[in-house]
Amino acid sequence: MSDSLKFGVYALYAVLIGGMLIFAFWMKRTRDHRITELQADLKSKVEAGFELSSKDIVVI
């Protein structure tokens, strides 16, 4: 293979791997944020004296 073709393939791999890493970190941040929201919602329900439903128990 020519040098320019090798460089193009390596650049493509770098872009794909970088994109996957950015996506993975974004998904983790989104998941952590959602878990925090659910915990706050459940805490407010318990403090207000609501009965927890089976859906809430599954989330816990």
- Tell me the pTM: 0.56
**End-to-end CA separation in angstroms for the chain:** 55
For residue range 5-60, what is the model confidence (pLDDT) as tens digits? 999 999 999 999 999 999 999 998 888 888 888 888 888 877 777 776 766 666 55
**CB–CB of 57/45 below 8 Å?**
no
Predicted pLDDT at 32: 85
Structure tokens at 50: 């609501």
Structure tokens at 33: 């944020």
CA distance 45 to 4: 61
Specify the DSSP class assigned to residue 50: P
